[in-house]
């Protein structure tokens, strides 16, 4: 079955969000922004990488719609735009735990729902 154009566009948009989260530094940024907004310099220090690389990661997250920015004086501050991503990260943690259990020989049981 061929996907219609609207559904294909939706899948492409979803993939953009998944790709944005598919890097350890970007996940660290998202986790830091859970605690509140941070300026780019704070995030650079947190990640321990150069400012240009941090800015590239921030641009990817912003373009995916996950974060927003606001310039104040000489610094740009970032905040989490889409807090529901935290629920997804919790779901991923559940998958990781289940995978570890299966690898350790714990009998397989169906996954609990990731919805609250």
Contacts of 36 (CB under 8 A, 6+ apart): 79
Its pTM stands at 0.82
Predicted confidence (pLDDT) at residue 110 exceeds the cutoff of 70: no
Query: In the structure, what pLDDT confidence band is assigned to residue 114 with cuts at 50, 70 and 90?
Result: low
Q: Residue ranges per domain, the chain?
A: 5-82, 84-116
Task: Tell me the percentage of the chain whose pLDDT exceeds 70.
Answer: 90
Angle in degrees, CA 86, 40, 92, rounded to 5: 20
Q: Which CATH number fits domain 5-82: 1.20.1250.20, 1.10.10.10, 3.40.50.800, 3.40.140.10?
A: 1.10.10.10
* pLDDT, tens digit, 9 for 90 and up, residues 63-107: 999 999 999 999 999 999 988 998 999 988 888 888 888 888 887
In which order are the strands placed within the sheet that holds 38-39? 38-39, 75-80, 67-72
- What ranges in 5-111 are assigned the alpha helix state H? 5-21, 24-34, 40-47, 51-63, 85-103
Residue 116, pLDDT score: 44
């Amino acid at each position: 079955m061929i996907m219609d154009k609207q559904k294909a566009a939706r899948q492409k948009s979803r993939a953009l969000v998944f790709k944005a989260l598919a890097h350890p530094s970007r996940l660290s940024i998202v986790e830091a922004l859970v605690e509140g907004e941070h300026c780019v310099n704070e995030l650079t220090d947190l990640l321990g990488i150069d400012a240009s690389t941090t800015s590239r990661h921030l641009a990817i997250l912003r373009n995916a719609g996950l974060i927003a920015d606001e310039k104040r004086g000489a610094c740009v501050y970032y905040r989490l735009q889409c807090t529901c991503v935290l629920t997804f990260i919790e779901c991923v943690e559940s998958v990781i735990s289940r995978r570890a259990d299966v690898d350790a020989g714990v009998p397989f049981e169906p996954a609990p729902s990731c919805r609250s």
